[in-house]
């Protein structure tokens, strides 16, 4: 079976910025691929090239076996696009938007009306069908935009950060749509900044940074690599770091552990919440003053941190317990990424 | 960290493409993308002329719905022609000597042409610039929609707006005493020429709309040049009253030849060579600007 998406050695430069630097990507037909990366990693550039909106400087792009650079007009009927910003007409109603797009996708008049009604019902917008889109809430617009991307029943759909800026309810609704699409055999390429989202939806994850792939594998492999849950301890006095680390090691074992100059210690653990009472007791007994103690899920920061360690190109079959990295490294990576969360 | 294997994870094992060394590809010089011309890489999708008209019709319908939902914009577009007719007829007209001594009769064909130009250029340039700044253009461009149909739809809907403006100007013209003295056939020809001339300029306006940064710039930059362009012509004053160095341009301005043709055909006289020049300008502007606009839209 041919790959639904096959991208090789993609390069794209905007002035001084190398947006894509030799990116490779393949998505098997019917799979959900998560393209994970921070702002400016090149995710949107990839999507725009795949959607025939942008030409790369070099590289090859095939969608469902069709060369998207030579014959974009043959790719367009096969794809659907939903962007980060709702690409719908504000001054038309929800129904008018979808009917028009169905007509533009070369559907008959009656079929277009039916398809518009069907999608409006499916996305919970039937009641708002006759209202101008400018009166819609952000979540409703995004749902309409997603419906618009599906109007022609595409074989491949590109979702560019479909849930960024959405409230949790709308996000869950979009997640459900993606799961349904996947179950129906549609190939999905989804970009996201959220590890949790990629974990929920994607069969495979590709992590990109600076226009190149820094890791790929299943979400499980990625999480194993990152180390699952992390226990975070913030010390009142950063000087107590060594004593604190000894105590922590004694309780949680030898997971990947890091600390920064401000007295924050982060350690990968399994079943972190259950360890907290014991850890609190031990730290107290060792007279370590703790400002904050928490268990949190791994974030994109953690994934980057794990993947940008020297000598690591792939997360497939990676060592789940890497050596603790240098402190400066942690600080640099964390400081550089905090705005991406 | 173990998780019970689900259908999802089971499925992924086969869909992972292992690439152990991602760096190697970035150093290899990849096949450069062939710089195929727009014609080679952007053939209009199949489906033929019927789908082209369907696409253009849908686009025009969309624009007309916008127009209907912003009645204030339509109002402003109609106030300007009425204002110009009244101001020039009653305020400035008394001081302007024209052949035949009837300024109203001289003025109205000129106002027709000037206002049709302002309306179609401003409307199309702002409309196209507005579309270009919106995400929905990306959606259209990622769909199998005819490239030229998107712009054609815009120019069609502007033609509808021009029609309304011309009807209003005819009514106001009759109220201020303009007499349609021509024979039916030349008069019909005069209005056809008026619409065709405005339509040709809407393709030039589409080019402007794609060149500027946004709708506001289109409003200002799209219409500013129209003041000298329409004033240095026979719209308001006889060209013979202008200084010698300006006259050669004014006499041959496309606006002058079209206005002179309208004056002749609406007043029942012979337009002479102005008629053929008008037609040549109209066809020339459209055949140059329309392909340029479509090519620009494709490459945008």
In this predicted model, what pLDDT tens digit does every residue of A61-101 receive, in sequence order?
999 999 999 999 899 999 999 877 778 999 999 999 999 99
Interface check A21 vs B, CB under 8 A: yes
Using the 3D structure, point to which of A190, A217, A244 is the last residue of a domain: A217
Smallest Cβ distance to A55: which of B11, B30, B33? B33
The whole-number pLDDT of residue B12 equals 40
In a domain, residue A43? The reply is yes
pLDDT of residue A308: 66
A115: left (phi over 0), alpha (psi -120 to 50) or beta: alpha
- Per residue in B150-174, pLDDT (tens digit) is 899 999 999 999 999 999 999 999 9
Q: Which residues contact B245 (CB under 8 A, 6 or more apart)?
A: none
**CA pseudo-torsion sign B142, B148, B153, B154:** positive
| Residues on chain A touching B69 (C-beta within 8 angstroms) | 91, 132
For residue B37, pLDDT over 60 is answered with no
Q: In terms of pLDDT, which residue wins out, A3 or B189?
A: B189
CB contact under 8 A, B31 and A227: no
Sheet (strand A257-259) strand order: A257-259, A264-268, A230-235, A290-296
Beta bridge partners of residue A13, listed in sequence order: A18
A226 to chain B: nearest residue by CA? B1
Render pLDDT for A228-249 as a digit per residue (tens, 0 to 9). 677 888 888 888 888 888 888 8
Tell me the average pLDDT across B59-77: 89
Residue B26 lies in a domain: no
Residues A198 and A248 placed together within one structural domain of the fold: no
Judge whether residue A331 has pLDDT over 80: no
Of A91, A106, A204, the CB nearest to B69: A91
Tell whether A121 and A44 lie within a shared domain.
yes
Pick B155 or A255 by higher pLDDT. B155
Do residues B165 and B129 make contact, with C-beta atoms less than 8 angstroms apart? no
The domain boundary, picked from A217, A242, A263, lies at A217
Top residue of A73, A95, A205 to mutate, by most chain B CBs within 10 Å, is A73
**Domain limits at B177?**
102-237+248-300
Task: Share the mean pLDDT of chain B.
Answer: 84
* Structure-model confidence comparison of residues B281 and A41, the more confident one: B281
Residue A8 has pLDDT above 70, yes or no: yes
Query: Closest to A314 (Cβ–Cβ): which among B11, B19, B142?
Result: B19
> A123: which 2 tokens?
């996305």
Residue A57 to residue B58, Cβ atoms within 8 A:
no
Q: Name the DSSP class of B22.
A: S
Extract the runs of DSSP E, i.e. beta strands, from chain A.
Answer: 3-14, 17-28, 32-36, 58-63, 66-67, 79-82, 156-160, 187-192, 204-209, 212-217, 230-235, 257-259, 264-268, 290-296
- Cα B83 to the chain's mean position, in Å? 22
- B24: nearest CA partner in chain A: A22
- H helix or E strand, kind and range, residue B18: none
Between A and B, how many residue pairs show a Cβ–Cβ distance under 8 A?
162
* B164 within some domain: yes
Q: What is the pLDDT of residue A242?
A: 83
Are the C-beta atoms of residues A34 and A46 closer than 8 Å to each other? no
Instruction: Return the C-alpha torsion angle B78, B81, B87, B92, nearest 10.
Output: 170
Q: Is the pLDDT of residue A328 over 70?
A: no
Q: Determine whether the interchain pair B15/A79 forms a contact, defined as Cβ–Cβ distance below 8 Å.
A: no
Q: Which residue has the higher pLDDT, B5 or A208?
A: A208
Q: Tens digits of per-residue pLDDT, A264-283?
A: 888 877 776 778 888 888 88
Q: How far is CA A102 from CA A105, A116, A149, B145, in A?
A: 5, 7, 10, 11
pLDDT computed for residue A301 by the predictor: 67
Residue A13 placed within a domain: yes
Task: Quote the pLDDT of residue A269.
Answer: 78
CATH number of the domain residue A275 falls in: 3.30.70.100
| Residues A189, A332 within the same domain | no
User: What's the burial of B91, exposed, middle or buried (CB within 10 Å: 0-12/13-18/19+)?
Assistant: exposed
pLDDT in tens, B225-245: 999 999 999 999 999 999 999
Contact A233, A292 (CB under 8 A): yes
Contact B212, B223 (CB under 8 A): no
Residue B222 has pLDDT above 60, yes or no: yes
Contact between chains at A56 and B33 (C-beta distance less than 8 A): yes
Pair A60, A181 in one domain = yes
Please check whether residues A174 and A239 belong to one and the same domain.
Answer: no
For chain A positions 64-83, those within 8 Å of chain B (CB to CB) are: 69-73, 76-77, 79, 81, 83
Q: Which residue has the tokens 């004593």?
A: A243
ipTM: 0.77
Phi/psi at B109 (5° precision): -60, -35
Task: State whether A189 and A327 are in the same domain.
Answer: no
What residues are paired with A231 via a beta bridge? Answer: A267, A295
* A269/A179 same-domain check: no
Domain count of the fold of chain A: 2
Contact predicate B297/B147, CB 8 Å: yes
A196 lies in the same domain as A293: no
* Partner residue facing B8 (CB), from A26, A91, A203: A203
Residues A26 and A144 in one domain: yes
Measured distance between the N- and C-terminal CA atoms of chain B, rounded to whole angstroms: 49
pLDDT band at B10 (very low <50, low <70, confident <90, very high): very low
Q: What is the DSSP string of A107-122?
A: --HHHHHHHHHHHHHH
**Most A-contacting residue of B9, B20, B28, B33 (CB-CB within 10 A), to test interface:** B33
Nearest to B16 among A24, A91, A204 (CB): A204
Integer Cα distance of B233 and B181 in angstroms = 23
Nearest residue on chain A to B38, judged by CA atoms? A70
With beta carbons less than 8 A apart as the criterion, state whether A44 and A24 touch. no
Asked if pLDDT for residue B209 goes beyond 70, the answer is: yes
pLDDT of residue B32: 45
Of B3, B13, B65, the CB nearest to A91: B65
Q: Which residues of B221-253 are buried (b: 16+ CB within 10 A; e: fewer)?
A: bbbeebeebbebbbbbbebeebeeeeeeebeeb
Say how many C-beta atoms besides its own lie within 10 A of residue B174's C-beta.
Answer: 12
Within a 10 A sphere around the Cβ of B197, how many other Cβ atoms? Answer: 27
Q: B192 lies in a domain?
A: yes
How, if at all, do strands A187-192 and A156-160 pair?
Answer: parallel
Chain A segment 253-282 residues within 8 A of B by beta carbon are 270
Candidates A9, A203, A214; nearest CB to B30? A9
Q: What is the pLDDT of residue A309?
A: 58
Helix axes B147-175, B103-132, angle to 10 degrees: 150
Looking at the structure of chain B, the number of domains it has is 1
Q: How close, in Å, is residue A9 to chain B by CA atoms?
A: 6
Q: Regarding predicted confidence, which is higher, A189 or A84?
A: A189
Q: What are the chain A neighbours of B17 within 8 Å (beta carbons)?
A: 26, 216
Beta bridge partners of A157: A80, A188
What is the least distance, in Å, from the CA of A76 to any CA of chain B? 5
Percent of chain A that is helix, strand, coil (3-state, to 5): 40, 25, 35
Highest mean pLDDT among A143-152, A176-185, B277-286: B277-286
As a whole number, mean pLDDT of residues B249-266 equals 95
One domain, residues A200 and A248: no
Q: Which domain does A46 fall in, by range?
A: 3-217
A222 part of a folded domain: no
Q: Which of A167, A191, A217 is the last residue of a domain?
A: A217
Please give the Cα distance from A58 to A53 (Å, whole number).
15
Please say if the pLDDT value at position A184 is more than 70.
yes
| A270 and A209, same domain (yes or no) | no
Residues A108 and A164 in one domain: yes
Interface test with A, best of B2, B9, B26 (most A CBs within 10 A): B26
Number of helices and strands (H, E) in chain A? 12, 14
């Amino acid at each position: 079976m041919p790959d639904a998406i096959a991208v090789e050695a993609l390069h794209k430069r905007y002035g001084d910025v190398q947006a894509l630097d030799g990116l490779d990507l393949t998505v098997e037909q019917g799979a959900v691929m998560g393209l994970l990366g921070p702002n400016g990693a090149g995710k949107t550039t990839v999507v725009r090239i795949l959607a025939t909106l942008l030409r790369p400087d070099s590289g090859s792009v095939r969608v469902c076996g069709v060369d998207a650079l030579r014959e974009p007009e043959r790719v367009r009927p096969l794809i659907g696009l939903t962007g980060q910003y709702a690409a719908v007409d504000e001054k038309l109603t929800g129904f008018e938007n979808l009917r028009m797009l169905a007509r533009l996708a070369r559907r008959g008049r009656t079929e277009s009306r039916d398809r518009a009604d069907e999608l409006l019902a499916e996305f919970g917008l039937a009641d708002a069908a006759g209202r101008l889109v400018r009166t819609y809430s952000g979540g409703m617009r995004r749902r309409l935009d997603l419906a618009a991307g599906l109007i022609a029943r595409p074989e491949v759909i590109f979702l560019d950060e479909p849930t960024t800026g959405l409230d949790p309810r709308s996000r869950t609704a979009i997640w459900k749509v993606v799961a349904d699409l996947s179950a129906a055999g549609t190939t999905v390429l989804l970009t996201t900044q959220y590890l949790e989202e990629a974990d929920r939806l994607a069969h495979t994850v590709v992590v990109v940074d600076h226009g190149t792939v820094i890791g790929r594998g299943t979400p499980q492999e990625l999480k194993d690599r990152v180390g699952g849950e992390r226990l975070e301890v913030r010390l009142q006095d950063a000087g107590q770091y060594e004593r604190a680390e000894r105590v922590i090691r004694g309780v949680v074992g030898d997971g990947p552990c890091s600390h920064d100059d401000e007295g924050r210690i982060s350690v990968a653990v399994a079943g972190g919440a259950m360890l907290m009472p014991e850890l609190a007791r031990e730290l107290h007994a060792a007279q370590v003053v703790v400002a904050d103690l928490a268990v949190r899920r791994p974030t994109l920061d953690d994934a980057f941190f794990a993947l940008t360690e020297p000598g690591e190109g792939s997360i497939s079959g990676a060592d789940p317990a890497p050596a603790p990295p240098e402190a400066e490294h942690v600080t640099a990576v964390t400081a550089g990424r905090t705005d991406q969360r | 960290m173990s998780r019970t294997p689900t259908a999802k994870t089971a499925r992924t094992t086969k869909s992972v493409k292992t690439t152990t060394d991602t760096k190697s590809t970035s150093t290899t010089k990849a096949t450069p993308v062939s710089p195929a011309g727009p014609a080679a890489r952007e053939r209009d999708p199949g489906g033929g002329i019927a789908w082209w008209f369907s696409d253009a019709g849908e686009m025009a319908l969309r624009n007309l719905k916008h127009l209907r939902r912003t009645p204030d914009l339509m109002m402003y577009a109609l106030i300007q022609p009425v204002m110009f007719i009244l101001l020039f007829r009653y305020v400035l007209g008394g001081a302007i000597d024209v052949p035949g001594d009837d300024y109203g009769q001289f003025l109205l064909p000129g106002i027709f042409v000037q206002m049709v130009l302002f309306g179609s250029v401003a409307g199309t340039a702002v409309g196209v610039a507005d579309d270009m700044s919106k995400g929905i253009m990306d959606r259209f461009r990622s769909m199998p929609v005819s490239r030229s149909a998107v712009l054609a739809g815009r120019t069609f809907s502007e033609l509808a707006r021009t029609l309304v403006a011309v009807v209003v100007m005819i009514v106001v013209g009759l109220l201020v005493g303009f007499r349609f003295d021509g024979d039916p056939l030349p008069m019909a020809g005069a209005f056809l020429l008026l619409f065709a001339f405005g339509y040709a300029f809407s393709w030039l306006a589409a080019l402007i709309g794609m060149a500027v940064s946004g709708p506001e710039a289109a409003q200002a930059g799209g219409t500013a040049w129209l003041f000298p362009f329409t004033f240095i012509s026979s719209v308001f004053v006889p060209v013979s009253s202008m200084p010698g160095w300006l006259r050669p341009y004014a006499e041959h301005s496309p606006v002058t030849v079209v206005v002179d043709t309208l004056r002749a055909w609406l007043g029942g006289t012979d337009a002479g060579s102005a008629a053929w020049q008008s037609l040549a300008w109209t066809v020339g502007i459209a055949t140059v600007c329309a392909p340029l606009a479509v090519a620009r839209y494709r490459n945008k």
